[in-house]
């Protein structure tokens, strides 16, 4: 059994592709389907699989990468093999290698398999003790906690992940969102900003940061960031809301109303975002003293959903106020 670099042979390559035996088998449809070799010639299959993994040729040289790194998807890139292998595969190789080491003659392929199994076991241990792998395991636990709405426990675990792997942008983003939902806006802002230092053009993070600034009553910063979100972004309506409500909180009702008008207010069918926008626009008109326009937008929401918030009571009270003023 060979171990290491495969010496290229042009003669063997040509022979393998021009074999008359191969041509006859193919023409007579006698070739077994792909993957059936384990039944037709199991000894050869085992030999070939071990051979491909214990040797490398010229075509594999571009794939070589001696550093084993844990990727975001949980895979390990093993350059000497030139493919991605999961922990399950590594353990599988180790078990198969150890089994065949005791079954097959040592002089045949026992020693190469044992060496390969030891190499795989070394990679497995290296992954288990790496901070990146530990952080990925903890992130799966975070996901379970968030499904049960255990926010405080999720925050503690996310802090552990970031202490293990400070450059884990995914953990930073999740922590920022959890802190925002927990009402800890100042901390959420710092983590959103940290995430944006990794990915400055991430619009989802920018929207989250703008929302945290608005909730924290830092309206100037909220407007600045929300205005940088382009119209093509699917959640652009939320950016409009943040800008308009920030102006309204500063008693700049004319600017707030102009901002609300950038949204597609004339759409016949209103989704949840447009109903919220019409409602907030009505509130802004009411604060500005324009009760008729406020009533108009309240009724637009009422026509779409009579159970939306306290819309019925609001319309009733506003109609009575208008009648009192007109009298």
Query: Where residue 229 falls among pLDDT bands split at 50, 70, 90?
Result: very high
Query: Is 244 or 138 the better-scoring residue by pLDDT?
Result: 244
Task: Identify the burial level of 234 via C-beta atoms within 10 angstroms of its C-beta, where 0-12 means exposed, 13-18 middle and 19 or more buried.
Answer: exposed
Helices (H), the chain: 10-17, 20-27, 37-40, 42-54, 87-103, 111-129, 131-147, 151-164, 169-181, 185-198, 203-215, 219-226, 236-249, 253-260, 272-287, 291-304, 311-326
Q: What is residue 317's predicted lDDT score, i.e. its pLDDT?
A: 92
Query: Is 265 or 134 the better-scoring residue by pLDDT?
Result: 265
Closest CA to 245 of 217, 205, 209, 207: 217
Domain 264-327 sits in which CATH superfamily? Tetratricopeptide repeat domain (1.25.40.10)
SS3 2: coil
Question: Residue 77 belongs to what H/E stretch?
Answer: strand 76-78
Buried b (16+ CB within 10 A) or exposed e, 125-147: eebeebebbbbbebbeebeebbe
Task: Identify the burial level of 104 via C-beta atoms within 10 angstroms of its C-beta, where 0-12 means exposed, 13-18 middle and 19 or more buried.
Answer: middle
Tens of pLDDT, residues 170-185: 899 999 999 999 999 9
Closest CA to 222 of 197, 250, 200: 250
* 138/131 Cα distance (integer angstroms): 11
Most confident of 39-48, 83-92, 193-202: 193-202
Tokens 């700049």 correspond to 252
CB 315 within 8 A of CB 291: no
Q: What is residue 39's predicted lDDT score, i.e. its pLDDT?
A: 64
Convert 252-273 into a string of H (helix), E (strand) and C (coil): CHHHHHHHHCCCCCCCCCCCHH
Query: Is 78 or 176 the better-scoring residue by pLDDT?
Result: 176
pTM over the 0.75 mark: no
Query: Is 5 or 268 the better-scoring residue by pLDDT?
Result: 268
Tell me what the pLDDT averaged over the chain comes to: 79
DSSP 61: G
Query: Is 184 or 6 the better-scoring residue by pLDDT?
Result: 184
Query: Is 49 or 97 the better-scoring residue by pLDDT?
Result: 49
Most confident of 29-38, 57-66, 247-256: 247-256
Tens of pLDDT, residues 288-299: 999 999 999 999
Q: What is residue 27's predicted lDDT score, i.e. its pLDDT?
A: 73
Distances (CA, A) of 228 to 209, 221, 243, 279, 313: 12, 11, 11, 24, 37
CB 209 within 8 A of CB 196: yes
SS3 78: strand
Q: Which residues sit opposite 204 in a β-bridge?
A: none
* 281/160 Cα distance (integer angstroms): 43
Question: Residue 55 belongs to what H/E stretch?
Answer: strand 55-56
Q: Where are the domains of the chain?
A: 4-129, 264-327
- Does residue 83 carry a pLDDT above 50? no
Tens of pLDDT, residues 141-171: 888 888 888 989 999 999 998 998 888 898 9
- Does residue 76 carry a pLDDT above 60? no
Percent of the chain with pLDDT over 90: 44
Query: Is 97 or 78 the better-scoring residue by pLDDT?
Result: 97
Most confident of 20-24, 42-46, 127-131, 319-323: 319-323
Tokens of 129: 């003790």
Query: Is 162 or 69 the better-scoring residue by pLDDT?
Result: 162
Q: What is residue 279's predicted lDDT score, i.e. its pLDDT?
A: 95
- Does residue 258 carry a pLDDT above 60? yes
Average pLDDT of span 241-270 = 94
Q: What is residue 96's predicted lDDT score, i.e. its pLDDT?
A: 56
CB 238 within 8 A of CB 273: yes
């Amino acid at each position: 059994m060979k171990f290491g670099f495969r010496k290229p042979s042009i003669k063997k390559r040509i022979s393998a592709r021009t074999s008359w035996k191969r041509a006859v088998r193919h023409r007579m449809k006698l070739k077994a389907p792909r993957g059936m070799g384990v039944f037709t010639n199991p000894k050869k299959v085992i030999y070939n699989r071990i051979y491909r993994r214990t040797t490398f040729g010229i075509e594999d040289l571009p794939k070589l990468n001696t550093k084993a790194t844990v990727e975001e998807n949980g895979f390990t890139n093993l350059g000497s093999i030139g493919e991605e292998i999961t922990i399950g595969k590594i353990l599988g190789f180790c078990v198969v290698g150890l089994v065949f080491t005791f079954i097959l003659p040592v002089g045949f392929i026992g020693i190469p398999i044992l060496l390969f199994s030891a190499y795989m076991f070394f990679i497995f241990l290296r992954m288990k003790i790496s901070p990146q792998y530990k952080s990925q395991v903890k992130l799966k636990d975070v996901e379970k906690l968030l499904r049960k709405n255990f926010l405080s426990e999720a925050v503690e675990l996310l802090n552990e992940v970031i202490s293990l792997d400070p450059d884990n942008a995914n953990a930073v983003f999740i922590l920022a969102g959890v802190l925002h939902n927990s009402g800890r806006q100042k901390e959420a802002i710092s983590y959103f900003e940290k995430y944006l230092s990794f990915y400055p053009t991430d619009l989802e993070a920018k929207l989250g940061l703008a929302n945290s600034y608005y909730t924290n009553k830092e309206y100037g910063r909220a407007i600045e960031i929300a205005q940088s979100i382009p119209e093509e972004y699917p959640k652009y309506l939320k950016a409009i809301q943040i800008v308009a409500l920030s102006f309204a909180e500063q008693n700049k009702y004319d600017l707030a109303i102009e901002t609300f008008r950038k949204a597609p207010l004339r759409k016949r069918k209103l989704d949840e975002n447009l109903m919220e926008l019409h409602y907030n626009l009505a509130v802004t008109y009411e604060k500005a003293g324009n009760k008729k326009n406020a009533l108009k937008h309240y009724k637009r929401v009422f026509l779409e959903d009579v159970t939306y918030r306290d819309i019925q009571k609001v319309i009733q009270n506003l109609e009575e106020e208008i009648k009192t003023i007109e009298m």
